[in-house]
Amino acid sequence: MTTFALVLGGLLAIACVVFVSRPFLREPAAATDADRLYEPDANERRRLTLVEDRDRALQALKELEFDHRTGKISDEDYQALLGPLRRDAADTLRALDRPPGEG
């Protein structure tokens, strides 16, 4: 009798696990367009790339300024690095201001 109860309990436990895990094992279907992933077009990808470049350039300027103020970078090195970083940031900002078809 105890063997029968153990087998019945084991089968019942397996059935419960299968029943509870069934929703997690099947592939969900997208109900609406809002559930689908958004794929940006070429202009949007360009804009996102430029925004990332802008953020990177501005962060580099902040780090350079911080390093100069804390004495990690000398005045000569600061002046040598500042120009190109500012140019990169300005070029990126100009590119963001241009209309998408202009390049």
C-beta atoms surrounding 101 within 10 Å: 6
Please report where in the chains the tokens 């000398």 appear, as a residue: 74
Q: What is the reported pTM?
A: 0.59
pLDDT in tens, 65-100: 999 999 999 999 999 999 999 999 999 999 988 877
pLDDT in tens, 41-61: 888 899 999 999 999 999 999
